[in-house]
Chains A and B, each alone.
Chain A
Amino acid sequence: MIDLDQTDRALLKALVNDAGVSTAALGKRLGLSQPATWRRIRRLEQAGVITGYRAVFDLEKLGFGVSVFLGVKLARKGRVSLEDFERAVTAIPEVQSVQHVLGLFDYRLRIVARDLADFERVLRRRIMTLPGVGDVEANVLLSEERLPGPIG
Chain B
Amino acid sequence: MNSFMQVDDLDRRLLRLTQSDPTASVPALAKDARMSVAVARRKLDRLEAAGVLKGRQAVIDWAALGYAVEVSLRITIDKAQPQGFDQFLAAARDIPEVIEIQTFLGRVDLRLSVLARDMAHYQELYRDRILTLPHIADIEALMHVASVKSDEGLPI
Which A residues form the contact surface with B (CB < 8 A)? 1-2, 4, 12, 15-20, 47-59, 61-62, 64, 69, 71, 86, 89-90, 93-105, 107-108, 110, 112, 137-150
Contacts and interface: CB of A to CB of B under 8 A. Distances in A.
12 contacts: A15-B57, A49-B65, A53-B56, A93-B155, A96-B149, A99-B150, A101-B145, A102-B142, A102-B143, A103-B143, A147-B98, A147-B101
A83 B152 CA distance: 20
Interface of B: 3-5, 7, 15, 18-19, 22-23, 50-62, 64-67, 72, 93, 96-108, 111, 115, 140-156
B148 A89 contact: yes
A140 B104 contact: yes
Contact of B106 (A54, A86, A96, A139): A139
Q: Which 10 residue pairs spanning A and B have beta carbons closest together?
A: A139-B106, A93-B155, A15-B58, A139-B104, A98-B148, A103-B142, A101-B142, A98-B149, A55-B22, A149-B99
B64 A142 contact: no
A142 B60 CA distance: 25
Contacts of B93: 145, 147
A99 B142 CA distance: 10
Contact of A145 (B5, B101, B148, B149): B101
B17 to A, nearest CB: 10
Contacts of A53: 22-23, 56-59
A57 B66 CA distance: 29
Contacts of B60: 12, 16, 49-51, 149
A3 to B, nearest CB: 10
A20 B55 contact: yes
B96 A62 contact: no
Given A19-B58, A99-B148, A139 B105 contact: yes
A18 B146 contact: no
Contacts of A102: 142-143, 145
Given A17-B57, A49-B64, A58 B147 contact: no
A114 B111 CA distance: 23
B53 A55 contact: yes
A143 B103 CA distance: 5
B58 A16 contact: yes
